[in-house]
Amino acid sequence: MKIALAQNNYHIGNFESNISKIIKGIKQSEKEGVDIVVFSELAISGYPPRDFLEFKDFVEQCLSAVNTIAEYCTNTAAVVGLPTFNPNEKGKSLYNSAAFLANGKIMSIINKTLLPNYDVFDEYRYFEPNTVFNIVEYKGVKLAITICEDLWNVQDNPLYNVIPMDELISQNPDVIINIAASPFNYHQTKVRKEILKKNASQYNLPLFYVNHVGAQTELLFDGGSLVMNSKGEIADELKYFEEDFKIFDLDEVNNSPPTNYNASERIEIADIHDALVMGIRNYFQKLGFTKAILGLSGGIDSALTAALAAEALGNENVYNVLLPSRYSSCHSVDDSIQLAKNLNMPNEIINIEEAFNSFEHLLKPYFKNLPTDVSEENLQSRTRGVILMALSNKFGYILLNTSNKSEAAVGYGTLYGDMNGGLSVIGDVYKTQAYELARYINREKEIIPENIITKPPSAELRHNQKDSDSLPDYDILDEILYQYIEKRKGPKEITAMGFDPALVARILKLVNTNEYKRHQTPPMLRVSNKAFGMGRRMPIVAKYLG
């Protein structure tokens, strides 16, 4: 039996595009004599459709689409993910389903059993869990069709009381097929392969796995669909961060060692880079925009954002605006101009001094002779924000936010100023990772000027200002933040690692008391396993560690 894996970049709610990609995969499979072609979880709707699922019309369009697709499955069968209605009066109104299409119609519907309800996942909000387990038989081959999380309950600390494959194995399947929507983070690829390997070897079955690829707002899907033999050895895998299509012979996968597959170790910083580039490109494409604007300050964050955007959108489509004030150093302007030249990006210099002076003059009688403080510093940032948003409106650009995760965590940013934007490119990238990314971008030649990478970071909102005036060294800050945000460790646990108790208390207080700022930020491209945004839900007015 020949089985094809079709790894596609879907667009949520874009039924015309999604149907077209699926039918194209079926036609290609039929042309090459494929028996079954497999598409990913909720392929017809795109993943995650979220509250679109509350609209009956949306689900009905998915069902209409699958019937249209089934008409093309005359010689080649297909496994396609979509939402379906729950016919029972009790329970949630929908199932997360896989349709098995053959002979021009829907032959079987398989429903997802394990519904993740953690981090970015919220499937139990919409779907009823499956309780009926049946294999699908086609051309004499018994298929155990599962959906994403259905294979993940084999870890040491299982989240669920049922293991779908334990229910299906008694029916003597010949192969496991898993359709998935597994979002990227820089640890996920390794974990995912370990889970799949455990399933293949535990049930002594070959495994065919299809994942989404592409970005859906902040969620990034890396692809990496793969095939394993019954020993849990990878026979082959599809591309990462790109659409791909491959055909496999089931007998060859099951009976032969994977001699043609050369496993290459994933490089974490390279994956983060590729994920961010894909995320920017897809965000613009799927919204119908082509051009970006950003404020280029001469610092590492805006330089990194500009370089990533130029790769994603084309250098001619990234408009860089330098907005110096009385506190801006000459090298910040020079470095920014050099970066723009290196990447051949359009750029302008708009000095904010006149506007800043006007605001100072306007507000002077109302500031009541109070000493200069952060109010005037933030006024500069907000002046820049006004100018950038005006240009964005006038020319139809999307403003890219350039704040990093370290700054977002502790509130080191100005609301309605440098926190403006339609998309936060590096909001899930710690400052120390930003330097790694810059070095990676410069791996073959200098794109980001060396001086931007090596000079002490500064917001340049007052004379001789340095980030270190307000924050500990980023090596220390980022490790404390990582332990608190990603690892969910409390102050006692972090202090026990050797960090100063007063510093830990201060940093954690900053994180919690600045939640109100993060609720007003643009979507952040997610590259970690705990990003700010839809996967981290914290109350704003809480007192814990505040």
Contact 427, 395 (CB under 8 A): no
* DSSP three-state, residue 533: strand
Which among 21, 62, 73, 112 is annotated as catalytic?
A: 112
User: Would you tell me how many other CB atoms lie within 10 Å of the CB of residue 72?
Assistant: 20
354 is catalytic: no
Contact 180, 39 (CB under 8 A): no
User: Would you tell me how many other CB atoms lie within 10 Å of the CB of residue 316?
Assistant: 13
Q: How does DSSP assign 229-273, residue by residue?
A: -TTS-EEEEPPBSS-EEEEEEHHHHHHS--TT----PPPHHHHHH
Q: How does DSSP assign 349-396, residue by residue?
A: E---HHHHHHHHHHHHHHHTTPPP-HHHHHHHHHHHHHHHHHHHHHHT
Which among 21, 41, 193, 218 is annotated as catalytic?
A: 41
Please report, for residues 7, 30, 118, 188, the alpha-carbon distance to residue 72 in angstroms, rounded to integers and kept in the order given: 19, 9, 37, 35
Exposed/middle/buried for residue 487 (C-beta within 10 Å: 0-12, 13-18, 19+): exposed
92 is catalytic: no
- C-alpha span between 316 and 344 (Å, rounded): 7
Which among 148, 405, 517, 530 is annotated as catalytic?
A: 148
112 is catalytic: yes
- C-alpha span between 41 and 27 (Å, rounded): 20
* DSSP three-state, residue 210: strand
- C-alpha span between 443 and 478 (Å, rounded): 24
Q: The tokens 């790109």 sit on which residue?
A: 242
- C-alpha span between 333 and 357 (Å, rounded): 20
- C-alpha span between 498 and 503 (Å, rounded): 11
Amino acid at 107: M
Contact 305, 343 (CB under 8 A): no
Contact 437, 429 (CB under 8 A): yes
Helix (H) or strand (E) holding 165: helix 164-168
* DSSP three-state, residue 66: helix
Among candidates 118, 113, 103, 121, which has minimal Cα distance to 144? 113
- Give catalytic residues, as residue numbers: 41, 112, 148
